[in-house]
Each structure stands twice: as structure tokens, then as C-alpha cells.
Structure 1
Amino acid sequence: MKFAFFGSSLVSAYWNGAATYYRGLIRHLHERGHQVTFYEPDAYGRQQHRDMEDPDWARVVVYAATTDATHAALDDAAGADVIVKTSGVGVLDRTLEEGVLSLKRPDNVVIFWDVDAPATLDSVHAEQLNPFRRLIPRFDLICTYGGGAPVVDAYRALGARHCEPVYNALDPHTHYPVPRQDAFAADLGFLGNRLPDRESRVERFFLAAAEALPEKRFLLGGSGWEDKRMPPNVRYAGHVYTRDHNAFNATPRAVLNISRDSMARYGFSPATRVFEAAGAAACLITDAWEGIELFLEPGNEVLVAGGGDEVASHLATLDEQRARSIGAAALRRVLSEHTYAHRARQLEALLVGREVATLALAAMV
């Protein structure tokens, strides 16, 4: 099949946390024989902060952030079998959503792929006149990268024909164990950009733990934290390029995952960082959210904390042997159940099922 994806960026992870999700899924669709074109706007300095060249497993089309260029990209995608508009492109999103729906034919599938479903649903519920609300029933399929039953039920209540989570996962090509690097030495590391619905949870889970354990070393990576007040035992690493994620995860005694407010509220939303850390055999401490046991077993494959005091408690008693044991168990689990090869097969089965259903319906007419 020919896929056309409209997303924030495939080639740059700069202010673009979904990049590794797109890369993992699309690379494995290519390995299964599909052709993928990824359309992304030249915006937010992402092209100036690329962390990869155009890959050989996808055609990348970078278009100017203008209405005319957006429509030209839509015209270029018109012949695809599967046309995907992701959430949060950041430039002319509504134009793209209406544009991909205008490309609907009897023999293709048009998908809205929500990489931040909790935030999208919160926005739609808060604004009765939100223009996206009327578009939801027109998509053949809504895919999300998290949210479980709460998100599926919410989309169905808004008229979605079908909604299915295709969760984050591990791409073993890009995230794997590596030797430790002194540049990322710490007792606990956290990697995440500064966002309004994440900052208070970073204060509660990460910075509070640092204050409680002044003898421990804490490492903060991600964009936007330059002027944030931090305890003296917190070192700020700035933006960490994807090429350094493995070392960032593998070097500290443990790494921390902190969900954004909306994701924690809906649950069943493992961040990309969860699988990246597990792929590097890191000992992961995560904030508590419903559904974690579907992905990693608490106590054996991941440590779960309800707040900064519990993060500090885990860290105070975590020795090297236990940290390595937890990281190794997490790596085994994600390789067996949660890689992008698994997700690509899931998407194929979903699309083939739709095709079979369409043919059966046509035969009945």
C-alpha cells in the first residue's frame, strides 16, 4: 500500500516528541513492503535542528508553511491508498484536516492519527464550537498512540466510526543498550521538553526528589528549562539530540518518566520515553498511571511512584545490581511484546479488516 502521512516532522525531534514514534512505525511499514511519503512543514526551526538525513525507508516532502504550499502537498498525496493527518502538525492543521478528507475515495482510507488524544479531547469537550468536532465522524478511522478504553469511548461518543490505540513502542534500530558516558552521569535522569501541562509534575516528581536527596546527582534534559529555578544538585543538559538518547538513558542509575497532566488523567498512555528507556535497558521509574501493567510489570520491570517522595524513596534504596536487573527485565519485555514491528502488523490487520468489510458490504448491495 501507499501511505501519505502529514505530520510535524520525521527528520527532526526538535520540539517534536512524536518523531521517534513516526520513525519507528514508518520504518517498519517500509520493511513490510509499504511505500510511505511523509509531508512536513518547514516550521519552528525543525529543519535547522535536524537529527537525521532523509531516510531510505520513506520519501520526505518538506513544504513551506503557507496555504498554497499546503494545498500543493495535499495534491501530491491524492493518489495514496492510506492518507493520514496527525494531530499537532502546528501549521494550518484545520486546512490539512479538511484537505485530507477532501481526498476521500471509495477505494482509499483517510485516518486522523492523534498523537496527543487526551489534549485533543479536552479541547473538544471544552469548546462546543471547536471546528474539529464536526470532522471526527468523517474520518474512516481514528488512531491514537495511547489512551486505552477512556480515549476510545470518548471518540466514539463524538461520532468516530472506529477508534483504535496504536501504542508507542520500541524501535530496536535506534534505541538499544550502549556504554555509559560521563557526560550523562547521574543518579537520576529526566528527559522532556518544558510544557505547560508537564511543568508542575516535573516540580512534584523530579525537583522535589532532588531537594529531598541533596547527596544524589540529578540530570535534566530537554528544551525550555534554561530559566527554571532548580536545586544545586540538578544539572541541566539542554536539548538532547536523538543520537544521544541511548547514552542519556543507559548512564544514570535510573531514569524518570513523567506523564503530562492529561495523559496521567486518561491513563493507558505510555510515553515514547518509556520504551526508549526500556530499549536501552535502563532502570525506569515512572509516575503512577492506570494501565502501566499492560506494558511493564511494576516492581520487576519498572518502579512506580505516586510523587516525589516515592521517587526519592526508590532512589535512596536502589543499588546497582537491582537497577541492572530491572532494566534487563524491561528490555526483554518490550522486545517480546512492544516493538514497532508489532505495531505495524497491528495497523496492517486493522486496514485489511476494513478492506474485507468493505468488499463484503459491496457484495451485499
Structure 2
Amino acid sequence: MRRSDEIIFIGLSITSSWGNGHASTYRSLIRGLHQLGHQVLFLECDQPWYASNRDAPILPYCKSRLYADVDELRARYTPRLRAAAAVIVGSYVDDGRNVCDWVLDHATGVKAFYDIDTPVTVARLQDDSCEYLRASQVPEFDAIFSFTGGPILDRLERDFGAKAARPLYCSVDVDQHQPVGSHRDIDLGYLGTYSEDRQPALEQLLNQTARRVPKRRFAVVGAQYPSNLVWPKNVQRIDHMAPGSHAQFYGRQRFTLNLTRTDMRKAGYSPSVRLFEAAACGTPIISDEWVGLDELLEPGREILLANSTEDVAEVLENVSDAEARQIAAAARERICAEHSSLHRAEELDSYLSAARGAGLEQPLRSAAGVSGERAVAAH
């Protein structure tokens, strides 16, 4: 059978960013793969909540196709799956266990799993409550790519038998996310979908701060927040904002708040896509604190940390605009140099090449001719 050069992703969503961070992560990564010359097909289960909020039904850098269920995947895409150079299944895919079975049974190229929710996945693998992956499937993949780095990668290999667990952080499309405008009429903003375990931090660091400094302006953008939540009068609420408008929103903020889900914070090494987007847009970031953050951005110079309402109020009241601009500029320089779409795609490219086996086949490399040395050196 002739092998194609195509990379197939089967993920939660790329066509709709409503209520999830997966779409932005996939869009950035796959745009980078396109820059390297790769052909990508993204398969996404058609869900009603995404169908009514589809902000990117057509993407210029990949083909995206919707499917109804695993039976349709088998009927329509098995030959293409067998011919693909690599097939990557993402976390939280509907009926993911059966999707993984289909991929593991029929794919002949590199078979990988991309976990954008690794701490949650690992916790659920232990008691077999993970709906999208079985523990027994982990060692069958050629590689496990993880949104979370650090010690959890060793655990995937040691406790679950992963052949190769590798960090694959999210990234940012630096062409789309750039500093926009200079009228910063929001003192502190937050962009993120509602999460029950993240809400206490949002209450403490943003809402309580808003009550403490009522003359300051705040904004929270994100879907699925309960209708019975009571917001301070000086907090503007916006239900959803398409990625194309994120740069403009960040451009309005004097500071933006970065918050991390409990499981991610405990595991550490789990930067969100919003962290990279805000930095690329030149907005100074106030973040909660977790292990590994200082390896991405230097506290005090490239990012500000806060553990209490008092910490946030102190920043808003006492950090000058000049200081804020310096912090934002340093963060933007760092993130654009190390976490762009192209950097992350080169990293994935090198992982896929390694998974194919040194010397057994030609590296999975685009016509653009990015060398293995450059891909490794970039990270």
C-alpha cells in the first residue's frame, strides 16, 4: 500500500471554539504544520452545541470534515487512515475509546494520542472512568503527546507503559495575535470558559478585587457561566468571543488574568493557550502560581503572580503603565521566540520522525526542508 504524506487528526473540535480551548490549540498547531508544507485532515464529531457556534467552518490551512459517529468514520475514512503518514487522536473525543480502537487496528503510519487534558486523563485512567481512553490503549500508541509537561510524562511511561510520552504545549498564532490599539479601558480582564474548580479563583482574584476597587473596570468573557452567578456592577460579562476578536479584547486590557484548573495547577507545567495569546498580544499578565510557570515566563520580569485579592489590587493600584509595558514586551518577546505555531509544529514534526524509527524510513519532513537539527535546536 502506498503511504500518503497526510496527517490525520481526530479531535474534539477545530471548527468551533465555543466552550473549549481545544479549537485554538489545534488551529495554531495545524497552521504551523501547514507552514512546514504538511497536508492535514481534521475529523470532528458533529455536535449540536458546536454546530450552533461554528466560528471557523472552513480553514485555509487544513481540510476539516464532520462525522456523526464511529460507524461513519469506519465506513468513510478507513482507507485514508491506512494510508496516512500519521494519525493523532485527541482527548475528549466523543466515543473516544472506540475511535482509538479503530485507529490502533487500522492505521499503518505513526499512531499517537494528543492529550490536552493530561492530569484529568491520568486520574481517570486509574479507575477506568476515562471515557475517551483506556489504560490498556496507552502502550499501543507510538507516542503520547501531552499538553502538560514535567513529572507526569515519566508517570505515563512508568505506570501506564507509554512508549514515548512527550510534552506538546499549546502555542500561539503570532500573525493573528499581535498588539492592537492603545486605548486600554479595562483595568483587568479574563477570557475563559466556566469551570467549577476554577471559579473560586476567579471570584477571589477578579470579583473580590472589583468590589474592593469599584472605580476600576473589569470584564469576563466566556461561555457556560451559570445564570445565577452574581457579578459586581463594574464587571462586564460577554458570553463568547470568537478567536478573531481576542487580540482586540486583549488590547483593551491594562492587565489580563490567567487562571488554571485545579488538576492542572497541581500537576504543574500546564500553560493554557490563553497565557500564550495574551503575551503575544502585548498585554501584561497576572497569573495564579504553579510549578513550571517560571520556566516559561520569569516572574516579576515577564509575568506577575497573585495569590490573593490583595495581590491583584496592589498591581492595579501601584504598577505604573510604563512598568506594565516593560513586562508585556518581555513576555511577548519570549513567547513569540519559543511558542509560536511554527515552533510547536517543528517540535511535533521531530517527534513524529522519531516515532517512525531512526534509519528505517525517511523522516516525516515537508518539502520546505526544515532540518532535524533546526527542529531540535528550536526547543
TM-score (norm 1): 0.91
3-state SS of the aligned residue for 1:359? coil
2:74 aligns with 71
* Correspondence for 2:85 among 81, 98, 106: 81
3-state SS of the aligned residue for 2:269? coil
3-state SS of the aligned residue for 1:316? helix
Supply the AA of the counterpart residue of 2:198: R
1:120 aligns with 121
Whole-angstrom CA distance in 1 between matches of 2:326 and 2:220: 24
Asked if 1:95 corresponds to 2:75, the answer is: no
Whole-angstrom CA distance in 2 between matches of 1:197 and 1:79: 42
Supply the AA of the counterpart residue of 2:102: G
2:313 aligns with 312
Question: Shift of residue 17 of structure 1?
Answer: 0.9
Contact 2:128/2:134 (8 A) holds in 1 = no
* Correspondence for 2:137 among 135, 147, 153: 135
1:363 aligns with none
Tell me: CA distance 1:188–1:353, structure 2 relative to 1, closer, same or farther (3 Å): same
Whole-angstrom CA distance in 1 between matches of 2:13 and 2:178: 23
* Correspondence for 1:34 among 35, 38, 59: 38
1:204 aligns with 204
Contact 2:16/2:53 (8 A) holds in 1 = yes
Asked if 1:220 corresponds to 2:224, the answer is: no
Whole-angstrom CA distance in 2 between matches of 1:350 and 1:151: 18
Contact 1:74/1:100 (8 A) holds in 2 = no
2:239 aligns with 238
Question: Shift of residue 252 of structure 1?
Answer: 1.2
2:16 aligns with 12
Contact 1:180/1:247 (8 A) holds in 2 = no
Contact 2:250/2:283 (8 A) holds in 1 = yes
C-alpha deviations, 1:298-342, integer Å up to 9, x for none? 111110112333222222212222222211111111111221211
Question: Shift of residue 271 of structure 1?
Answer: 0.3
Question: Shift of residue 74 of structure 1?
Answer: 4.3
Contact 1:188/1:254 (8 A) holds in 2 = yes
Whole-angstrom CA distance in 1 between matches of 2:182 and 2:106: 49
Question: Shift of residue 181 of structure 1?
Answer: 6.5
Whole-angstrom CA distance in 2 between matches of 1:96 and 1:128: 16
1:288 aligns with 289
3-state SS of the aligned residue for 1:113? strand
Contact 1:287/1:307 (8 A) holds in 2 = no
1:191 aligns with 191
Contact 1:212/1:309 (8 A) holds in 2 = no
What percentage of residue pairs aligned between the two structures are identical?
33
Whole-angstrom CA distance in 1 between matches of 2:129 and 2:43: 30
Supply the AA of the counterpart residue of 2:155: A
Whole-angstrom CA distance in 2 between matches of 1:126 and 1:200: 27
3-state SS of the aligned residue for 2:181? coil
Contact 1:295/1:338 (8 A) holds in 2 = no
Contact 2:83/2:107 (8 A) holds in 1 = no
Whole-angstrom CA distance in 2 between matches of 1:174 and 1:190: 19
Whole-angstrom CA distance in 2 between matches of 1:152 and 1:73: 34
C-alpha deviations, 1:263-290, integer Å up to 9, x for none? 1110011100001001100011111011
1:165 aligns with 167
Question: Shift of residue 44 of structure 1?
Answer: 3.8
- Number of aligned residues: 353
Whole-angstrom CA distance in 1 between matches of 2:95 and 2:192: 26
3-state SS of the aligned residue for 2:325? helix
3-state SS of the aligned residue for 2:190? strand
3-state SS of the aligned residue for 1:45? helix
Question: Shift of residue 73 of structure 1?
Answer: 4.9
2:59 aligns with 55
Output aligned runs, 1:319-330, within 5 Å. 319-330=320-331
Contact 1:188/1:252 (8 A) holds in 2 = yes
3-state SS of the aligned residue for 2:301? coil
3-state SS of the aligned residue for 2:40? strand
Contact 2:8/2:40 (8 A) holds in 1 = yes
RMSD: 2.0
C-alpha deviations, 1:80-118, integer Å up to 9, x for none? 1100100012x211211111111243xx11001000101
C-alpha deviations, 1:34-87, integer Å up to 9, x for none? 1100000110421321222412211111112x3422333542433211001000
Supply the AA of the counterpart residue of 2:74: H
Q: RCO higher in 1 or 2 (8 Å CA, sep ≥ 6)?
A: 2
Question: Shift of residue 129 of structure 1?
Answer: 9.1
Whole-angstrom CA distance in 2 between matches of 1:310 and 1:202: 13
Tell me: CA distance 1:158–1:28, structure 2 relative to 1, closer, same or farther (3 Å): same
Q: Which sits farther off after the overlay, 276-285 or 312-321?
A: 312-321
Question: Shift of residue 246 of structure 1?
Answer: 0.5
